[in-house]
Amino acid sequence: MPILTTKNLTKHYGTAPNIIRALDGVDLEVNKGEFVAVVGQSGSGKSTLLHMLGGLDTPTSGTVIVDNHELSQMKDEELTIFRRRNVGFVFQGYNLVPMLNVYENIILPIELDGNKADAPFVDKIIDMLGLGDRHNAMPNQLSGGQQQRVAIARALAAKPSIVLADEPTGNLDTKTSQDVLGALKMTASQFHQTIVLITHNEQIAQLADRVIYIEDGKIKSRGVVPQ
Amino acid sequence: MWIIVITVSLIACILTAWLCHRYVSRAVASVEAVLERILARDFSSATLLNEDDRISKLAHKANRVTNMLITEAAHAKAEKNTVQGFISDMSHQMKTPLAGIAMYSELLLDGNLNAEDALEFISRMKISVGKLQWMMDSLIKLSHLEVGTISLNPSLEDIGQTISEAIITVLAEAERRRIEISVSNFEDTQLLHDRKWTTEALVNILDNAIKYSANNGKITIAVEPLQYYTKISIADNGIGIPKSDWPQIFKRFYRGQNVKDKEGVGLGLFLVRTIVESQGGYVLVDSNPGGTCGTVFSVFLQNC
């Protein structure tokens, strides 16, 4: 059952004749619990795609449906709340709040939604990601790999319908990348978490259940949906 | 005077009570609506409830419960499909060697063969039997893992010993093919793994490295600690794996594009992945077909 569907998703920048087709009619389906990697070179449209999927940007035409909600039908305010509850983001730059410690960073999205964190669940994630002894550490006391693990924990803590990860290891060296990816893989299988991972690196994409290749704003190959 | 005060407070009370009542009934009604849909097996969750209030949050959570159940049901169904696919794949894979054995034994029983042909047929039968044997062994191991009758018992053990055991298992075959296996220096550490099954996984990778390398090839094993994982890499200088095959090779019964003519059924790497991932680790492949460096399989095991 798809949790995420795009239909003829198109994003153009500029006006004719200098039109840039960042996305050119992308049809995509991601099933609940699936770990999908979208692979493309820089400029292929993969980041634009992720921004559309997360409702961070509006398409020129076409639709994005997340958990039966069509994003373009929502008002800005609704979209903000929808994102907060349903989408977990992991970006290349970690985006941790420097004044908050590890634990506070992780539960921030939950508190923003006016909820109390599910403490045992959050602790479980923190332990699984090897951050058990870093609860009170500040982001600047952590290595890059650890910071990204905190960002992954933050994305998972609100139990989102879907996690969108945009080049999560883009700022990390190969060794640290492999350390962080293991964490992502483990959480995917432990929680049956739906994950869309955007990357240019085919080595990294291997961890996904399915690899989709994107080129010039179009899907070139969509992989085999696992049974 | 008093009458006015009492009347006003009474009105205020009634108003508050009415508002409370309205709020509660709306909350109950919205949750009820969601539950009603679940009971009707309508999972479209079409109502837009992205407002910043309690009712919306409650309805949202009810929605999430539905989603969780759907995911779990889908997961169970997928597992059932896997098992079904497994059985049908398996029977399909067994057909060819079995047909071969049937045919050769028939011909041998007819007896109109010269000694040379007879020997040829017997050796072909032997290959088919070997293939069936290997498949059977792998299937038994897999079924144990899939059904969970054998649970992996990861515990903190020296990884050096595990690697040695894997090398010893494949040593005879490597020597026969004059392939050198070397291990780069490393500091032995304790890693969270199940020794028996991890050895099995490493043996499968080594078997492949030997099988897909030319005689006099070279296999290098290295151990490199990361912060959370330790990477065990097994590099060969064999024929390599094309990039387009990378996402496929760990799938059950998948045979690489450039190895269709070689012996094998496509279970080895599937087993590797299943074993390693059941212990919270993962496997990556890197390869350079046509080049001189061959293939590197990296197994990542958790440090603790």
**What is the C-alpha separation between B210 and B180, in angstroms, rounded?**
10
**A147 membership: H or E segment, kind and range:** helix A144-157
pLDDT of residue B265: 67
pLDDT in tens, B68-123: 787 788 778 877 887 787 778 778 878 888 999 999 999 889 888 888 888 998 99
**What is the average pLDDT across A96-105?**
93
Count, residues in chain B: 304
Tokens of A157: 């803590």
Q: Are strands A35-39 and A210-215 parallel, antiparallel or unpaired?
A: parallel
List the 224-243 stretch of B: residues with Cβ below 8 A of A.
Answer: 224, 226-229, 231, 243
- Average pLDDT, integer, range A129-136: 87
How far does the CA of residue B82 sit from the closest CA of chain A (Å)?
Answer: 6
B277 CB neighbours in chain A (<8 A) are 185, 189
CA–CA dist A136, A126 (Å, integer)? 12
Single pTM value for the model: 0.79
Q: Give me the pLDDT at residue B45, please.
A: 56
pLDDT value at residue A140:
92
CA B271 to chain centre: 8
Q: For residues B221 and B180, is the Cβ–Cβ distance under 8 A?
A: no
pLDDT band at residue B146, thresholds of 50, 70 and 90?
low
The chain B residue lying nearest A129, using CA atoms, is: B228
Mutate to test the interface with B, among A82, A163, A178, A194 (most CBs of B within 10 A): A178
Averaged confidence pLDDT in chain A: 87
The answer, yes or no, to whether residue A226 has pLDDT greater than 50, is no
A106-124 per-position pLDDT tens digit: 999 888 888 888 888 888 8
Phi, psi at B229, each rounded to 5°: -120, 165
Q: What is the pLDDT of residue A64?
A: 93
Q: Which residues contact B98 (CB under 8 A, 6 or more apart)?
A: B128, B132
What's the Cα-to-Cα distance from B265 to each of B147, B255, B286, rounded to whole Å?
A: 21, 7, 21
For B199-255, write each residue's pLDDT tens digit. 999 999 999 999 888 888 999 999 999 888 999 999 999 888 888 888 788 887 777
CB burial class (10 A; 0-12, 13-18, 19+) of residue B280? buried
Residue B55 pLDDT exceeds 60: yes
pLDDT tens, residue by residue, B253-270: 777 777 766 766 677 898
pLDDT digit string (tens) for A196-205? 999 988 888 8
For chain A, the farthest-separated pair of C-alpha atoms sits apart, in whole angstroms, at 57
- Confidence band, pLDDT 50/70/90 cuts, at residue A20: confident
What confidence category does residue B183 fall into, taking pLDDT thresholds of 50, 70 and 90? very high
- The reply to whether A175 touches chain B by the CB within 8 Å rule is yes
What per-residue confidence (pLDDT) applies to A227? 38
For residue B47, name the pLDDT band (cuts at 50, 70, 90): low
At residue B162, the pLDDT reads: 94
Q: What is the ipTM of this complex?
A: 0.81
pLDDT higher than 80, residue A127: yes
